[in-house]
Structure 1
Amino acid sequence: MTTKRMMKCCLLAATALLALADTPALAGPLEEGFRVPPIEARPRFRWWWPGDAVTDEELRREVKLMADTGFAGAEIQSFSPNFITLTPDEKERVNQYAEPSFFAHVRTAGEAAKSAGLTLDYTLGSSWPSGGGFAIPPELAFTELTMARSEVKGGQVGPIKLTIPKRTRRLGALNFLDARVKDPKVADWGKRLDARARTVAVVAVKGGAPMLNPAAAGAMGMTLTPWRDVITPGTLDPSSSIVLTDKLRDDGTLDWTPPPGDWQLFLFRQYASDVGVLGAAGQGPQLILDHMNPKAFAAHVARVGDPLGNNPPGLRSTFVDSLELMQDIQWGPELLKEFKKRRGYDLTPYLPFVLQPGWMQAWNEHWSPPYFDSSSGDFAERVRTDYRRTVSDMMIEGFIQPFVAWNHSHGLKAKFQAHGGPFDVIRGYGLADIPETEDLPGEGDPLFTRLARSAAHLYGKPIVSAESLAWANRPFDVTPDEMRRRVDALIVGGVNSMILHGYNYRFHAEDWPGWHAFQPSPFAAGFSSMLNETNPVWSAMKPLGTYIGRLQSVMQAGQAVVPVAYFYGRYGYYEGIEDQGAGRLAAEKAFLAAGYDYDRINPDSIAHARVEGRQLIAQGGQRYPVLVLPPIDGIRADTAEAIAGFAKAGLPVFFIDHAPTRDEGLAQARSRDARVKKAVAAAMKAGAKVVPAAAIPDSLRTASIPANLHFSGDATGLVFVQRRIDGRTVTFVHNRGEAARAVTMTLPGVGGITRWDAMDGSMTPVSAKAVQQQTAVPLMLAAGESALLVLDPKTQAATIPSPVPVGSVTLPADGWQLRVEGHAERNPYAHDFGSVTLKDWLQVPELTQFAGTGTYRRSITVDAGWLTKGTKLVLDLGQVRDIATVTINGLSLPTMFSAPFRVDVTGLLRAGKNDLSVAVANVPQNGVINPKNPAYKKFKPVPAGWTGPVRLEASR
């Protein structure tokens, strides 16, 4: 094809305009790290191992591959290969997890990583939750509380027959399908589990029954809990509570005649749970350890950790994944004793108030009213808070603190996912050296991931890690463009170190696409992402990793700018826990919309904070110009007194809607409530204010609380983070919405603005204007687009001329030579199609079930007039599914993996004939579909290939 000759007058006019500035010379460490991310800033893989069915040779090869792909290392996660046929030898090797051969393999991987300049994290146990093997017998397994309820009326003559609650039946660690339970060494484990069952209490309380929803919660066909959600709680009179445990016979008969009135009878029974560690490899049954018992952790770590030795080569940390403890009611054998010691009263008479369905319920956390409330005001809520605080204390002391201490004693860091735990999650994150969040909740919801970032700031932890790029029920169709969007969402959520989920060890590779840790089955589709060489889009991992590394190199530098400390005093977390299930997160969204970033601050951090220069300084060094409290009734007296001290020291304090009026707990309620009221009054006298929720943004501005920025225009869906680095203000803004946004963003301070492009490492000045000691910059963000903007007070805001288009030409859709190579219906497939027209591969019968690479070729002729000095040439590929690599005259450019698929080809084209090749690869989905295979027939075809239109554009 011959391009149209450009008009000379257009070229002459264009040369009079300033061209876009080139990338400036590297000015310092920040620029250097952005251009070539240092190793510590690069992302990592979660490295799925099929138990111990690995070889030293393959481990070394995969470590080298990760290094060559530009990653910082990996997180070893040993997993049992489900839903594939294993030979007897493979089964035996898989279950050599935590045996000497396994630790030898870990050492091999660690030494290979060290030699390559990488580091590894090691999951402290196969899969999750923690436990498994002969180290965790029934006596160290976690326990749960169950409840049965009966209604009786006064005058009914005893004895009364009660229902004895049974252990909730789930497919547990001792299920008959697991061959490991046939080991003679565990023949009595079932009886030993049963032997731990005991009746905790029988309690009678006057009151009425709750109104319940018809069905209990379940997921994937499993019973998660026997408790149904509550429509209306029952009401109990706590003053009438009678403990009748000693009157219960073994057959469930209660020797008791109720006094006049309507009575609820409760029988509470403790069971050791037989719920198993999910997908665990290793010998013996896989019981979950008791997270309230430090002896259980010690037994576990002796099996899975101690053999590593001290300072194991190449290992950075050990890791504990999300807890996902499936208990009916959270419990520990020592809980009643510990409760009385810590809270100052006996919980037994008030156990009926504890149950609230959905609270920290694994896999289905949600809000429901409690089963029972009290007839006397907030009595029941105080009991629940005391119970949850005790659970929190015992889990932190029984598991998290021993985990951190063990790592430190072995020369390792502790990396921990605190979400999903029924404890102070911010403290749980903060105790770890590397707090880790994940992106499954809310598809990378930056408000959720801010919890881990908050802990990092409060406790002085520089790295905020995230289990990243995971989608439920989408093992094969997630595109690199979607991955890039998710990366940006994680960055604006405060994450600065991503663990990509995940890289599968090469296992059963002959059966394409090979083993996947979340192998699809007839029962479930599994999880993404499948990031290894068998995925046709694997070549996108290197540029994606570089993109992530550039952003993380910036987000690991300097100090975060977070004006608002927003109080969080709950135990556990799920969306809706603070607003009775509404999940609006109204305050958090209002802060960001008004240009104020925030961290959640917990009572433990308040206890260790101080005020200097009218700013709250956390123990980790983070500074907050204001403390805001949500509308809560109860708060710990010591926390209220600390807040009063902050207000007296000059810190602005705001209570949304109303201030707390009481202590959160029941013990010594009268005196503690008086302390809260006195502290709140003192705070108000010192200047604290009660402000309606809708007025909070304006109140912050009126109080001269400095905002991060201000948006003019419709900023719906825009989320940001900000850092100060060497006197510069760095702001990353991401458009999470599905519509483009055109806004003006105003930043505090005056200076020039550059936009840093993490795709290619360029740093380009953009137009900005100084306005009253601020700098305003126009910003257009397409759906899913982001901008990294750097304000430098050493430079001046200026108007930067936009490039002027001087010509374009559309390449024909037909006449391309196409050859494909990959897989169809999971079998190898290659074909030369000859001359084709660009179209979706779903419209080509031979390619509807194809996954792989299609290489398009043609020659183009370029007129010398296009190659004038100062002319920029861009090749726009149009619609690509899902990655593309352009080669011009034998020179291949970096793989493009995210829209828009535009590449600068200036200097690559020559006058006359040029060879153009475009290699397009799609995700594996279409190639795995097999109507005859129940695990793969459920997947639906997705668009694939290249449709264009293709344009060559020139500008100056």
Structure 2
Amino acid sequence: MFAKRKTAKLLAATAMALSVLNVQAWAQSLSEAFKSPSMEAKPRLRWWWPGDAVTDGELRREVQLMAQMGFGGAEVQSFSPNFVTLTPEERAVVNDYAEPSFFAHLRAAAEAAKSAGLSLDYTLGSAWPSGGGEAIPPEKAFTELAMARTAVKGGTTGPIKVELPKRTKRLGALNFFDPRTKDPKYADWGKRLHARARTVAVVAMKGSAPDLKKRSGMNGMTISPWSDVLTSGTLDPASRIVLTDKLREDGTLDWTPPAGEWQVFVFRQFASDVGVLGAAGRGPQLILDHTDPSAFAAHAARAGDPLGKNPPGVRSTFVDSLELMQDIQWGPKLLEEFRKRRGYDLTPYLPFVLQPGWMQAWDEHYSPPYFEAANSDLAERVRADYRRTVSDMMIEGFIEPFVAWNHAHGLKAKFQAHGGAFDTIRGYGLADIPETEDLVHSGDPLFMRLARSAANLYGHHIISAESLVWPDRAYNVTPAEMRRRIDLIMAGGVNSMILHGMNYRFHAEDWPGWHAFQPSPFSLGFSGPINETNPVWPAMKPLAAYMGRLQAVMQAGKSVVPVAWFYGRYGYYIGIEDGGAGKQAGEKAFLAAGYDFDRINPDSIAQARVEGRRLISKGGHEYGVLVLPPIEGIRADTMEAIAGFAKAGLPVFFTDHAPRRDEGLAHAKARDARVKKAVAAAMKAGAKIVPAVELPEAIRAAGVAGNLRFEGDASDIVFVQRIVDGQPVTFIHNRADAARSLTVSLPGVGGVRRWNAMDGSVNPVTASAAADMTQVPLSLSAGESVLLVLDPRTRPQSVAASEVVGSAALPAEGWALSVSGHVARKPYAHDFGKVALQDWSKVSELAGFSGEAIYSRSISVDSSWLKPGTRVSLDLGQVYDMATVTINGRTLPPVIAAPFRIDVTDALRPGPNMLKVTVENVPQNGMIDPGNPALKKLKPVAAGWAAAGRLEASR
């Protein structure tokens, strides 16, 4: 017995020693990663190329520039230079995309990246959606279904005249303005497109027409022919009649309707001539059929195969969000596939599939469907079956072949799964690098969690995001706004940002040179150039370092997400689950209660298991609870799997009510019975129905630990958390436009340090132990974030605030000022002599200026301020938009966001000091041009050093 006890004590002591060593190793490794992020942890740039109008020398220079600024690589996006006047010779070179010269340039850039320790991602195709060139002729172009409806009263003697669908007119790939379509060898492409048109079905049903909203145009462009619905029409499915063989070519239908009010529908398939947006390359630019794997193969042979296998310096290929403009999502084999997969013929039920806004390119939103079924849920079941079939076909026709192609070529697949009519989470999960974007609702962190969810469910390490994108703001995004958006993206679960974007130097003589999505007479464009032509370019180095430090931490260890929140829809937009309200109430309630969540789809449920009352995903992530939103229908096999989880001990909660039926139509009675039986089994095993407002407390009562606990107003607080060797690392962001003061309880007991990713400093914060948690009081200003690391080797402590021992206002006058930059896009430089600080808009010569301004003068510092233990900070006051301080010839790191404060202790000396402040503003004011139709809409913004701050000594 004694020997056993001695052995047990020895083992326990050894385990404790190993635990301490592990914690020490963790602290050292994470600290080193924070100080010196790996290349994988550094941010990347979307690198816009003007087609093939590039040179190896400039590509190599720009790669070196990326490395010098602290980026880990770039994503090559070849693009047709929009709204730039090109000579015929320039246009020909631009359109050498996918030709041997292009791949030679791509290899040169990739080799330069590898030599610099960077890597490239390559967009598999010019622009988006995928397609273009002779590889995608009319026979491989994507298709759409169009619908025309005619109201007919019973008793009308046939034949009757009905409306026929027409192809929706868009500025397509074969438009007259594109010179690439005028080559004689493409002369028959229009006819070949037309030859693919066919009538799919003519269906009649008794019922009423929908009440539609009045349509509003979109700058003359037709994105979708459908109007939003005020009140759905109602159809009697029992009255359905398929009349396809009764329709003549002229729209005459050989049919006499029986008594009643009838709706006659004609459905016609068209091969779409919508073009790849902004595509460079030879020939017409038709979009490929995403349901046809042979179309993808043809595209990959043109746009990818010439790169070869295992290309040095290339990490992955990339597909941007799909954004397919289809009247009704379709594929030539959809009816056939539907019958095989769903077990019945969709043809007589086609009138029920149309729902405006559902996966509508550029404008996904909620509208009621055009038609519901009278006195039943049949229409909703048909729509679920239809969407599942579209999803299956797009995944099998495009996403899986894309991933397989990459793996066969020694590359990773990077994919944006949003904007597609398929299982969004599975789409992300199939890729090696799921990528989201911040354009959705200005960086909505709840939406961005879909990509993080897929990473946890399917076992991926990197969660990428197309980042820093603002619509209608091509020239006035400040570094401070970038920093705040970075925090929001990080709080959305992202750990690898791709900044949108760096533009290859093209037409550089016309400042600021070409950049993708520059303003046009039709639009103010998107976020401006992230390169040397932007005066605030110097801010990118500290921002890149900031992102690198954060991403190094958020790529370490394991993500902590206790809640699996069911998502069974196809496609996604905010409002898809709550009838367009877009409140995201469930997600917000989880976070406010301190519980992070992932969305879990049926595919992941089918591959998950329960161990020790925890749900283990295919990718190895562990969830403490499974919660279902208030849904009517769910697949029977999914509900049966959930019942199995409950029997195995997993806490399962149904919000407000349990599902009542299967989601599909075939064998509905039997499948509904299976759902009900599975729900009953789950309830017997301990699953509960809980009102939405009580969910967080019910989860806590079930013994499921949260990430955090909040005391105070936690609304608009978002967070992510990771465990690194058992220790919590928590990033908290206040997304509100008002300050939040609250107390945060972290899991475990230990000392807490705040890791400042902007300057790399690590400082203790006041904390106190409370039971098995550590409480930290926080005061976060609007948009502020904090990275907290709990260290179990130390105890919580109270940290005394520093005491101000001296303060002196900076003089507002007597500053020597010289500027260099642009006014009205023309070079401008001037020495103003001695000036007072003020907003440049109040100085006639500077009201339209953008560039660099240098303020300088002597200031005096009291010698008592420079005693050991005293630190001196310089608060510059009101600055637009960034500043770099040089004192006595020593240049300090740039300050890029309010408060514009920097520690200047080590640069000062007693008595007189020469202070130089270099201020840069965004390009906006220098771009305003009333005579330019693209730039006259720009409005002036505040600029310069507008008000002085102060020096402050503290100890």
Give the TM-score normalised by the residue count of structure 1: 0.97
- SS of equivalent residue, structure 1 residue 536: coil
1:580 aligned residue: 579
1:748 aligned residue: 747
| 2: CA distance, partners of 1:371 / 1:295 | 34
Cα distance, 1:715 vs structure 2: 2.0
Alignment of 1:913-932 (within 5 A): 913-932=912-931
Q: CA deviation digits over 1:288-345, x for unaligned, max 9?
A: 0000000110110110000000011110000000100000000000000000000000
- SS of equivalent residue, structure 1 residue 907: helix
2:829 aligned residue: 830
| 2: CA distance, partners of 1:496 / 1:529 | 23
4+ aligned runs moved over 4 Å, structure 1: 24-27
- Does residue 269 of structure 1 match 2:268? yes
2:783 aligned residue: 784
Cα pair 1:440 1:471 within 8 Å, conserved: yes
Which residue identity does 1:198 align to in structure 2? R
1:299 aligned residue: 298
Cα pair 2:877 2:949 within 8 Å, conserved: yes
- SS of equivalent residue, structure 2 residue 905: coil
| 2: CA distance, partners of 1:714 / 1:367 | 31
- Does residue 30 of structure 1 match 2:26? no
Q: CA deviation digits over 1:555-575, x for unaligned, max 9?
A: 000111111000000000001
1:559 aligned residue: 558
Which residue identity does 1:707 align to in structure 2? G
1:194 aligned residue: 194
| 2: CA distance, partners of 1:603 / 1:275 | 33
Cα distance, 1:700 vs structure 2: 1.2
1:717 aligned residue: 716
| Higher RCO, Cα 8 Å, sep 6+ | 1
Which residue identity does 2:185 align to in structure 1? K
Structure 2 vs 1, CA of residues 529 and 26 (structure 1 numbering), >3 Å: closer, same or farther?
farther
- SS of equivalent residue, structure 2 residue 540: helix
Q: CA deviation digits over 1:47-89, x for unaligned, max 9?
A: 0000000001100000010011110000000000111111121
Which residue identity does 1:194 align to in structure 2? H
Cα distance, 1:252 vs structure 2: 1.2
Cα distance, 1:27 vs structure 2: 4.5
Cα pair 2:515 2:528 within 8 Å, conserved: no
- SS of equivalent residue, structure 1 residue 241: strand
Q: CA deviation digits over 1:350-407, x for unaligned, max 9?
A: 0001101110000111111111100141111000000000000000000000000000
| 2: CA distance, partners of 1:44 / 1:78 | 16
2:171 aligned residue: 171
Alignment of 1:2-401 (within 5 A): 27-215=27-215, 218-401=217-400
Cα pair 2:26 2:724 within 8 Å, conserved: no
Cα distance, 1:527 vs structure 2: 0.4
Cα distance, 1:914 vs structure 2: 1.1
| 2: CA distance, partners of 1:645 / 1:220 | 53
Cα pair 2:519 2:934 within 8 Å, conserved: yes
| 1: CA distance, partners of 2:724 / 2:207 | 61
Cα pair 1:26 1:32 within 8 Å, conserved: no
| 2: CA distance, partners of 1:405 / 1:143 | 24
Q: CA deviation digits over 1:156-201, x for unaligned, max 9?
A: 1100111111000011101100001101110000000000000000
Cα pair 1:469 1:529 within 8 Å, conserved: no
| 2: CA distance, partners of 1:723 / 1:27 | 14
| 2: CA distance, partners of 1:694 / 1:308 | 55
For structure 1, which segment, 55-64 or 256-265, has the greater mean C-alpha deviation from structure 2 after superposition? 256-265
Cα pair 1:215 1:228 within 8 Å, conserved: yes
1:499 aligned residue: 498
- SS of equivalent residue, structure 1 residue 225: coil
| 1: CA distance, partners of 2:751 / 2:458 | 34
1:731 aligned residue: 730
| 1: CA distance, partners of 2:27 / 2:953 | 30
| 1: CA distance, partners of 2:952 / 2:365 | 52
| 1: CA distance, partners of 2:149 / 2:825 | 54
Q: CA deviation digits over 1:421-441, x for unaligned, max 9?
A: 000000000000000000001
Cα pair 2:820 2:852 within 8 Å, conserved: yes
Cα distance, 1:442 vs structure 2: 1.1
1:812 aligned residue: 811
Which residue identity does 2:244 align to in structure 1? T
1:665 aligned residue: 664
Alignment of 1:454-469 (within 5 A): 454-469=453-468
Q: CA deviation digits over 1:778-798, x for unaligned, max 9?
A: 101111110000111221001
- Name structure 2 gaps, 5 residues minimum: 1-23
Alignment of 1:390-789 (within 5 A): 390-789=389-788
- SS of equivalent residue, structure 1 residue 579: coil
| 2: CA distance, partners of 1:70 / 1:120 | 15
Cα pair 2:26 2:725 within 8 Å, conserved: no
Which residue identity does 1:881 align to in structure 2? Y
Structure 2 vs 1, CA of residues 230 and 921 (structure 1 numbering), >3 Å: closer, same or farther?
same
Alignment of 1:834-845 (within 5 A): 834-845=833-844
Which residue identity does 1:140 align to in structure 2? K
Cα distance, 1:219 vs structure 2: 3.4
| 1: CA distance, partners of 2:25 / 2:437 | 37
Alignment of 1:874-893 (within 5 A): 874-893=873-892
Which residue identity does 2:300 align to in structure 1? V
- SS of equivalent residue, structure 1 residue 222: coil
| 2: CA distance, partners of 1:457 / 1:781 | 29
| 1: CA distance, partners of 2:210 / 2:585 | 30
Cα pair 1:181 1:285 within 8 Å, conserved: yes
2:851 aligned residue: 852
Structure 2 vs 1, CA of residues 25 and 328 (structure 1 numbering), >3 Å: closer, same or farther?
closer
Structure 2 vs 1, CA of residues 625 and 845 (structure 1 numbering), >3 Å: closer, same or farther?
same
Cα pair 1:883 1:922 within 8 Å, conserved: yes
| 2: CA distance, partners of 1:207 / 1:331 | 25
Cα pair 1:317 1:407 within 8 Å, conserved: yes
- SS of equivalent residue, structure 2 residue 376: coil
Q: CA deviation digits over 1:676-698, x for unaligned, max 9?
A: 00000000000000000111111
Which residue identity does 2:431 align to in structure 1? A
Which residue identity does 2:437 align to in structure 1? E
| 1: CA distance, partners of 2:902 / 2:724 | 31
Cα distance, 1:501 vs structure 2: 0.1
Cα distance, 1:863 vs structure 2: 2.2
- SS of equivalent residue, structure 2 residue 906: coil
- SS of equivalent residue, structure 2 residue 59: helix
Q: CA deviation digits over 1:112-158, x for unaligned, max 9?
A: 00110100000000000000111101000000000111111221110
For structure 1, which segment, 353-362 or 942-951, has the greater mean C-alpha deviation from structure 2 after superposition? 942-951
- Name structure 1 gaps, 5 residues minimum: 1-23
| 2: CA distance, partners of 1:52 / 1:220 | 31
Cα pair 1:71 1:545 within 8 Å, conserved: yes
Cα distance, 1:26 vs structure 2: 11
| 2: CA distance, partners of 1:529 / 1:31 | 34
Q: CA deviation digits over 1:656-684, x for unaligned, max 9?
A: 00000110000111111110000000000
| 2: CA distance, partners of 1:252 / 1:714 | 63
Cα pair 1:437 1:449 within 8 Å, conserved: yes
Cα distance, 1:220 vs structure 2: 4.0
Identity across aligned pairs (percent)? 73
What's the C-alpha RMSD, in Å, of the aligned pairs?
1.1
Number of corresponding residues: 932
| 1: CA distance, partners of 2:743 / 2:899 | 23
